[in-house]
Amino acid sequence: MTTTTVDVFNHNVPAESDFGYSQAIRSGDLIYISGQLSFGEAGELLHPDDFAAQLRQTHANTDKILDHYGVTRNQVVSQVLYLVNLRENAAAMAEGNLAYFGAHRPAATAFGVTDLTFPGQVVEISFVVDTKLPSGPGQRGR
């Protein structure tokens, strides 16, 4: 019988215990990252209603998780983005995504939503990471 190792990561913000979830969980070779958002060390929303600033902070919070597991952005295989005012923020989302991932191109789905958890929150992103992928820039598919 094969045993799968499970490793959980938390930012230690109040929402984790209030809602009963972890920021990320590794099961075997995959890491599932919960919806990340623009929160600070105490769990407070940073940059209300500022899409570009929230996206940068969301990516910074994601990097903490990637660092914990010793993986890189190049190993992200999928992302799901939830955006308030999708059409209004589409260009900033594309620019931020290209800046964050560089030449790497994970699968992505974007949803326009009316509201997110915190007042002034305009973006949330969940990720799936495959630890078996190369950590550096890979070859492009055909």
Q: pLDDT (tens digit, 9 = 90+) per residue, 77-120?
A: 999 999 999 999 999 999 999 999 999 999 999 999 999 999 99
Q: Give the span between the Cα atoms of 107 and 95, in whole angstroms.
A: 16
Report whether pLDDT(128) > 90: yes
Angle between helices 51-69 and 86-101 (to 10 degrees): 40
pLDDT of residue 4: 65
**Number of helices followed by number of strands (H, E) in the chain:** 3, 6
pLDDT of residue 141: 40
Distances (CA, A) of 22 to 19, 32, 36, 104: 9, 10, 11, 26
What's the average model confidence in pLDDT over 25-33? 95
Distances (CA, A) of 90 to 29, 117, 140: 32, 20, 25
Please write the tens of the pLDDT for every residue from 63-77. 999 999 999 999 999
Please write the tens of the pLDDT for every residue from 31-64. 999 999 999 988 899 999 999 999 999 999 999 9
Report whether pLDDT(142) > 50: no
Check: CB of residue 66 under 8 Å from CB of residue 53: no
β-strand 6-9 against 24-27: which pairing, if any?
A: antiparallel
pLDDT of residue 68: 95
Token digits for 26?
A: 């590794």
Report the predicted TM-score, pTM, of the whole model to 2 decimal places.
0.89
Question: 88 vs 1, which has greater pLDDT?
Answer: 88
Report whether pLDDT(140) > 60: no
